[in-house]
Structures are given as structure tokens and as C-alpha cells.
Structure 1
Amino acid sequence: MSRGKKLDIFIGADFDESWAEVQSPRKTKRSNELQEPGKHFLVFQKEKRRGKTVTLVGEFHISKDDATTLLKMLKKKLGCGGSIKEGWMEFQGELKEKLRPLLLAQDFRFKHGH
């Protein structure tokens, strides 16, 4: 009985010698270059996490030190908790209307409609 041709099926792992992680390209490309606040085009996103609202603002292209000082200042003025992850600032609560004037005062810009 002939074995025939080997089927070429890719299911996401390499079984030759060990397991291999599948590297899929990101849908959006992150820019690692730093920009001044006037060149940012920020957007707001709202998510529900464990039944609570979280406001996301980003994406920031500033140094890590500048981002932490900006986040600390915003949290103090808003009286809420927050963090920064992968260039996005996360704030506890629905704070879009309060965040916009604070970031505009720091010379950040927003995409049209946000």
C-alpha cells in the first residue's frame, strides 16, 4: 500500500523537536519614537471590568518618566485610581468629560469625534 503525498497541515505548533510559539503580527504597529504632546492624537475608550467602568486614554508616545508624572497629576486632580499599560492610561470610572480639558491644558490633541 502506497503512503501517497504527505499533507501539509499547519495547526500552530511545530512537532519536530519541541513546541514552538506561533508569532502572529500585530494588527496595529506601535511606534517607539517619542513625540511631543502637540503631535499626539488621543482617543477615549470605555470598558467594563468586573461590572465597573474603566476609561482608557491613549496611545501616548512619551517617555516612561513623563507618563508616570502625567498620570500622577491626573489621578490627583480627578481623585481616582489609574495605571499606565502599553502606552494607554487607564482610569477607574467614567471620566471622559473631566479628562479632556485636563489633557487639552497639557497640549495634547484628540482625534475628531473623541
Structure 2
Amino acid sequence: MSRGKKLDLFIGAEIDEGWSEVTERRSTVAKEILAPEKHFLVLTKEKRRGKIVTLVGEFCLEDSAANDVVKTLKKKLACGGTYKEGWMEFQGEVQERLKSNLQELGFRFKK
């Protein structure tokens, strides 16, 4: 094959064969707002680019209220964090301190 010519290859099914094109992504965030006592949160941790990230969720709060909770927790834990799609992400392995601080705010955890 010479360098100047391009190959026209198509791999996969065509949309006309009954397949549908995905245009939007569905979020799993619940629509109803719950009080902190009614949440059952889960703590997990992931490795991203060699660093540990602690995830807690899934929250059923308004975005403004969730961002306020993240802001106070970031100050108490002295780490970075964010709120995305119903889950709070914190930098580092802060599971024990995070769990105790959230329980002080009235949230409950699954066993």
C-alpha cells in the first residue's frame, strides 16, 4: 500500500439495520429530593491516574444544597472535591473521616 492512498473501511453495523444512534446520556440521579436522614450512602474508592479518589453517593439533593455540603466537607477534610451526577468525589483516601462528618450532618450509610 502506498502512502498517498487512503483505505475506506467501515467496521460495525449500519444504523439502517435497526440500530439506533445514542444522542443523549441518561443520568441515574433520582428526581425526588430526600432529607438527609432518608439517604443510604455508599463509600467506594477508585484509582485514577495512580491517585486514590473517594466516592460517596448517591445523593438525592438539589445541586445547590449538594455543593454546599461538598464545600463544608472539603474544608473539614482539607482536601479537594466535587459533586457530579449525584456522587461526591474527594481526593485521597478519606473514608473514615468522611463517614464521621457525614453522619454528623445526619446522613446514613448502607452496611
TM-score, normalising length: structure 1: 0.76
Q: Which residue of 2 aligns with 1:6?
A: none
Q: Which residue of 2 aligns with 1:40?
A: 39
Aligned AA for 1:60? F
Q: Structure 2 CA distance, aligned partners of 1:71 and 1:84?
A: 7
Detail structure 1 runs of 4+ shifted over 3 Å in the superposition.
none
Number of residue pairs matched by the alignment: 98
Q: Which residue of 1 aligns with 2:15?
A: 14
Deviation at 1:15, TM superposition (A): 3.0
Q: Structure 2 CA distance, aligned partners of 1:37 and 1:98?
A: 18
Deviation at 1:30, TM superposition (A): 3.9
Q: Which residue of 1 aligns with 2:63?
A: 64
Q: Structure 2 CA distance, aligned partners of 1:48 and 1:95?
A: 13
- SS across alignment from 2:33: coil
Gaps of 5+ in 2: 1-11
Q: Which residue of 2 aligns with 1:79?
A: 78
TM-score, normalising length: structure 2: 0.78
* Residue pair 1:12, 1:22 contacting (<8 A) in 2 also: no
CA RMSD in angstroms comes to 2.5
Q: Structure 1 CA distance, aligned partners of 2:70 and 2:107?
A: 14
Aligned AA for 1:78? L
| Distance 1:30-1:64 versus aligned 2 partners, 3 A rule | closer
Deviation at 1:21, TM superposition (A): 1.2
Gaps of 5+ in 1: 1-10
Deviation at 1:20, TM superposition (A): 4.4
